[in-house]
Amino acid sequence: MKKVIVGLWLIFAPAAQAVAQEFDDQIVEIAEYAQELRPVVESVYDIVNVADQADFEYAQWEAGDLSDEQFLSMLAAHKVNVRNTTKTIREAFAAIPPPPTSTFSDAKFGMSSGEFESLLHACETFSIDILDLYAKIVEGDENALKDYSLSVYDRGTVMIAVSNSLAQSSIDSIGDQNHPQRSALTAVINSNDVMLALLGIQKAMYFEDETDGLDAAIDHYRSLIKRHREILRQGRRQQRVTTFNLNSNFAAFGEDRPMTERILKMIAAYEDQWALELSMAEWMSDVSDEIEEFRSDHESLDFVIIQATEDFIPFENERTRLIYERVQMLK
C-alpha cells in the first residue's frame, strides 16, 4: 500500500493530501492507473531516440565508414522502426482503461487521447523529418545541410515537449488550486522553457533570417526569469494556504492524524524547493547579465550559452532529489 501511495505522489501528488482512510480504495485505483500510464507516456522517448542512432551513423558515413547505399538502407529501416514504435505506443495507450473517478477531488487524472496523440504525432514527425533530412544530404541536396543545422535547435524542443507534457499532466491532476505542488511542477516547465530560450538565442545568432531576431530571443529569455520569480511567490502562498487548511481541520481527521502529520511535514519541506528555485532565478539573472555583456560578440555569447546549459544540470538534479525526499516523508 505504501509503495502504491508513493507512486501516486510522483505523478498525482496532491491527491494523497485530502484523503482519509475511507478513501484508500480510490487512492489505490488512481495510483495503479498512474503507474500504468506513465511508462507508456515515457516510451515516447523511444521514437525520438531513433534520431540519435541516425546521428551516429551519419558520422560514420561522413567519415567514409559507411557507403551511401549502406546509410540509406539504415535510414529506411529506422523509418519503419519509428512508424512501428509509434503504432505500438498508440495501441498501448488505447489499452489503458479510462482514468478513475474520484469522490474527493475534481482533478483531471492522466492525459486525454487527443493530448497524447498530439505528443505522439510531434515526436513521430520530428524523427521522420530528421531521417529524411539525412537521406537528402546523401543525395546531394544543397539546402539539406542548412536544414540539418537548424534541426539541431529543434531537437531540444521535441524532447522538452515530452517532459513538459508529463509535468502538465500532473498539474492537471491536482484538484486543489492551492496545493504547492502546482507551482513546483510549473517551475519545472518554466525552467525547461528557459533552456529552450537559450537555444533560441543561439539559433537567432546563426540563423537570424529564420527567427524573430536576437533581440526578441533575449527578451523572451528575460521574461521567463520574471515568470520564475512569480511562480516562486505563488508556490509560497500555496504552501501557506495548504498548511493553514490542514491545521484548521486537523481535529476532523480522527484516526488519520498520523498520516496528516506526515503530510504537514512534507508540505513544510517545500521551503527547500523554493530556496532552490530562488537560486535558479538568481542564476538565470546572472546568465542574462552575461548575455547582455557579450551580445555583440557571438563567439563569446555562444560559450556563455553552452556553459549555462551545463550549469543547469546540478539544479535539475537537486530538484529531483528534493521531490524524492518529500515522497519518503509519506512512507
The radius of gyration of the chain's CA atoms, rounded to the nearest angstrom, is 23
Please name the residues in contact with 164: beta carbons below 8 A apart, sequence gap of 6 or more. 188, 189, 192, 193
Measured CA angle at 325 (ends 276, 315), to 5 deg:
30
CA distance 72 to 128: 13
The domain limits of the chain are 1-175, 177-331
Task: Judge whether residue 248 has pLDDT over 70.
Answer: yes
Model confidence at 228, pLDDT cuts 50, 70, 90, reads very high
Task: Judge whether residue 183 has pLDDT over 60.
Answer: yes
- When mean pLDDT is compared across 30-34, 70-74, 108-112, the lowest value belongs to 108-112
- When mean pLDDT is compared across 35-44, 80-89, 300-309, the lowest value belongs to 35-44
Model confidence at 28, pLDDT cuts 50, 70, 90, reads low
CA distance 26 to 217: 46
Read off the pLDDT of residues 275-313 as tens digits, 9 standing for 90 and up: 999 999 999 999 999 999 998 898 999 999 999 999 999
Model confidence at 30, pLDDT cuts 50, 70, 90, reads low
Model confidence at 252, pLDDT cuts 50, 70, 90, reads low
The three cell numbers of residue 235 are 508556490
Model pTM? 0.72
Grid-cell match 480522527, residue found? 254
Question: Between residues 42 and 219, which one has the greater pLDDT?
Answer: 219
The rounded percent of the chain whose pLDDT value lies above 70 is: 82
Read off the pLDDT of residues 117-171 as tens digits, 9 standing for 90 and up: 888 988 899 899 999 999 999 998 878 877 777 777 777 777 787 788 778 877 8
